[in-house]
């Protein structure tokens, strides 16, 4: 007897930690996961598609979503709003999909409060130098944005203890395999199998 509700997974990591690439590998290896497409007020980067990478919306529209309680968490990050749409995660979790939220720490802490059963994973680069190199290597951020993101990264890592797992990203293949195994194990935990207990004792 298995709990059919999916697991809510938060993946955070400083800009340049490589979490996006890791998650792409997870999606290639397994179709037990869905990605929650966030809303943001930032401009699309070259190659980013509306509705795929983000829902790119205006500041006014975003503020409406906050007022209507349509976003389950949101933050203001380096000059822009980012938020998770409530409908997306509820629908997929009910359908038994494991839903991945790729969000920064402020949002992660809001999710942890609202959904104590959520699993929180922190992906980090091996060290600060690698972080800076990766961020510059992207070539899509301005110097000011890079400086802001590096500063923010240091702040984010202070939340280390709030996360369930720490994955040091030295090898994409290994980190993505680890994420898949963590979720598999988590599915077997008592925390996720309360339905079994209730059915067994007819509660």
- Pattern 26-45, ligand 5GP, x by CB under 6 A: ------------x---x---
Selected binder of ligand 5GP within 34, 84, 98, 153 (CB under 6 A): 84
- Pattern 43-72, ligand 5GP, x by CB under 6 A: ------------------------------
Instruction: State in angstroms the smallest separation of the CB of 184 from ligand 5GP.
Output: 24
Pick the piece of the chain touching ligand 5GP (CB under 6 A) from 62-70, 78-86, 166-174, 188-196. 78-86
Closest CA to 52 of 27, 15, 78, 70: 27
Residue 92 within binding range of ligand 5GP, rule CB under 6 A: no
Please count the residues of the chain.
203
154, 151, 13, 112 alpha-carbon torsion, rounded to 10°: 70
- CA distances (Å), origin 109, targets 73, 126, 138, 160, 185: 9, 23, 28, 11, 23
Looking at beta carbons only, is 2 or 155 nearer to ligand 5GP? 155
Residue 102 within binding range of ligand 5GP, rule CB under 6 A: yes
Alpha-carbon span 83 to 93, nearest angstrom: 18
Is residue 176 classed exposed, middle or buried when 0-12, 13-18 and 19+ CB atoms within 10 A define those classes? buried
Beta partners for residue 100, in sequence order = 9, 35
Looking at beta carbons only, is 60 or 190 nearer to ligand 5GP? 60
For ligand 5GP, the binding residues (CB under 6 A) are 15, 38, 42, 73, 75, 77, 82-84, 102-104, 106-107
């Amino acid at each position: 007897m298995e709990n059919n509700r999916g697991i809510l997974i938060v993946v955070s990591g400083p800009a340049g930690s490589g979490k996006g690439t890791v998650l792409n590998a997870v999606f290639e290896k397994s179709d037990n996961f869905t990605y929650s497409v966030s809303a943001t007020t930032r401009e699309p980067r070259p190659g980013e598609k509306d509705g795929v990478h983000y829902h790119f919306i205006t500041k006014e529209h975003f503020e409406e979503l906050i007022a209507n309680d349509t976003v389950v968490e949101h933050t203001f990050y380096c000059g822009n709003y980012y938020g998770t749409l409530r409908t997306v995660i509820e629908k997929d979790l009910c359908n038994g999909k494991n839903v991945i939220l790729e969000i920064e720490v402020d949002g992660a802490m809001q999710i942890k409060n609202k959904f104590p059963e959520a699993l929180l994973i922190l992906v980090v680069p091996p060290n600060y130098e690698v972080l800076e190199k990766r961020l510059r290597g992207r070539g899509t951020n301005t110097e000011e944005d890079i400086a802001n993101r590096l500063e923010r990264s240091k702040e984010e890592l202070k939340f280390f203890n709030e996360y369930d797992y720490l994955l040091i990203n030295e090898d994409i293949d290994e980190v993505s395999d680890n994420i898949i195994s963590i979720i598999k194990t988590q599915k077997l935990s008592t925390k996720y199998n309360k339905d079994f207990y209730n059915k067994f004792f007819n509660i």
